[in-house]
Amino acid sequence: MDITAIFNNVTFQYIILPILIFLSRIIDVSLGTLRIIFVSKGLKYIAPVIGFFEILIWLIVIGQIMRNLTNPVNYLAYAAGFAMGNFVGIHLENKLALGTLLLRIITRKKAKELIQYFQADGYNLTYLPAKSNLGAVDIIYLPVRRKNVKEIIAMIKVFNPDAIYTMSDVRMISKGVLPFTGKLEILNRPHHRLFRFKRKGK
């Protein structure tokens, strides 16, 4: 079998090769997105390994592009793979839920019960009384693991559905701020019964 003939085949040049470029570009851009995220979170051992495979795949892809400069389909596949790779990379990062967030909770309702709830889970939070254009409010600063954010927001809505909250990334955090297990024990709490009907369908 003549390998050169296969590579010069019209089907390979205009269908198979663009598909391979598209898929490879998705992989390398996804790895690049994850690498940047890992660097921002200080994961210095994982980021170089990801960077190695990212640049290796990119070199292979760009080599194929340079060998087929007259094929415009390759350019489209390259650009489409780049766009899709960004989407896939961000999706993967959200699934991994790495790192810690600082949750700022602003509530006009007294936050005593909510504070006691989080303290019982082992969180070391900061509480401040403040004023807004709507009147007196309470502000809670709560460091949380990203994987627990949905559960925490659900509990905020139980105590105060009208509470306002914002989140920002935290690169470093001292020991003792987060619970040791990192798991909210809401399955055994009376408030969590409100959400059991949602979990039955899973």
**pLDDT tens digits for 132-167?**
887 888 888 988 888 888 888 888 888 888 888 888
pTM of the model: 0.60
Domain enclosing residue 127, as ranges: 100-199
Mean pLDDT, range 182-202, rounded to an integer:
41
Please tell me whether residues 35 and 110 are part of one structural domain: no
Q: Using an 8 Å Cβ cutoff, are 149 and 103 in contact?
A: yes
Query: Quick one: which H or E segment has residue 144?
Result: strand 135-145
Taking 80 as the threshold, does the pLDDT of residue 99 lie above it?
no
127 and 138 Cβ atoms separated by less than 8 Å: yes
Based on the fold, state whether residues 81 and 155 are members of the same structural domain. Answer: no
pLDDT given for residue 197 in this prediction: 41
**pLDDT at residue number 53:** 92
Please give the Cα distance from 31 to 20 (Å, whole number). 17
Picking from 87, 101, 116, the residue whose alpha carbon sits closest to that of residue 27 is: 87
Q: What are phi and psi of 124, to 5 degrees?
A: -105, 95
pLDDT at 52: 93
pLDDT score of 14 more than 70? yes
**Confidence at 192, pLDDT banded by 50, 70, 90:** very low
Predicted local confidence at residue 9, as pLDDT: 67
Same domain for 8 and 81? yes
Q: Is the pLDDT of residue 100 over 60?
A: yes
Rounded distance between C-alpha atoms, residue 55 and residue 73, angstroms: 22
Domain match, 57 and 119 both: no
Residues 111, 192, single domain; the answer is yes
Read off the DSSP letter of residue 71: -
pLDDT at residue 179 in the model: 66
Q: Are 155 and 101 in contact (CB under 8 A)?
A: no
Task: Give me the CATH number covering residue 160.
Answer: 3.30.70.120
Confidence tier at 43 by pLDDT (50, 70, 90): confident
Domain closes at, from 53, 73, 96 = 96
Calculate the dihedral angle through the C-alpha atoms of 54, 56, 59, 60, rounding to the nearest 10 degrees: -110
Query: How far is 74 from 21, CA to CA, in rounded Å?
Result: 7
